Amino acid sequence: EDQVTQSPEALRLQEGESSSLNCSYTVSGLRGLFWYRQDPGKGPEFLFTLYSAGEEKEKERLKATLTKKESFLHITAPKPEDSATYLCAVWGRRGLTGGGNKLTFGTGTQLKVEL
C-alpha cells in the first residue's frame, strides 16, 4: 500500500525566513510525485510534478526536489501570501480501472508566514 507522510504538520515562519517542508513516501513503482497548495475553504491547486530522483522544479519562491524516498518543498524568503496548506501526493504503478490516476495524498503541512 502506498503511503505518504508530510512533516511538520504545521510551520510558522517570519517573512523572509526560508525553510523546507518534507514529504516522505513509500510507493510501488513511483510514476510521479505532485505538490499542491490549498488555501482555506478552497480546493487544492496544482504546483509541481516530479518524475524521477534528482529532478527539481521552481516557481517563484518555491522549489521542489525529489529523492528516492522523499521530496522537499523549499520556500525561499516567504511572504504572508505563501501562507497555505501544502499537500504532497504520489502516483504509483497500480492504476485504476479505465486508466485513471491512483494518487495517495499526505495530510499536508499548514504554513503560516507572519510579518
Partner 1 sequence: DAGITQSPRHKVTETGTPVTLRCHQTENHRYMYWYRQDPGHGLRLIHYSYGVKDTDKGEVSDGYSVSRSKTEDFLLTLESATSSQTSVYFCAISESGQGAMEYFGPGTRLTVT
Chain residues binding partner 1 by CB under 8 A are 4, 32, 34, 36, 41-46, 49, 87, 89, 91, 96-108
Q: Choose between 73 and 87: whose C-beta lies nearer to partner 1.
A: 87
State in angstroms the smallest separation of the CB of 102 from partner 1.
8
Compute the least distance from the CB of residue 77 to partner 1, in Å.
26
CA distances from 62 to 8, 41, 77 (A): 17, 22, 9
List the one residue out of 68, 48, 47 whose CA is nearest residue 56. 48
Nearer to partner 1 by Cβ, of 41 and 54: the residue is 41
- Provide, rounded to whole angstroms, the least separation between the CB of residue 103 and partner 1: 7
Q: Are 16 and 34 in contact (CB under 8 A)?
A: no
Whole-angstrom distance, CA of residue 34 vs CA of residue 105: 9
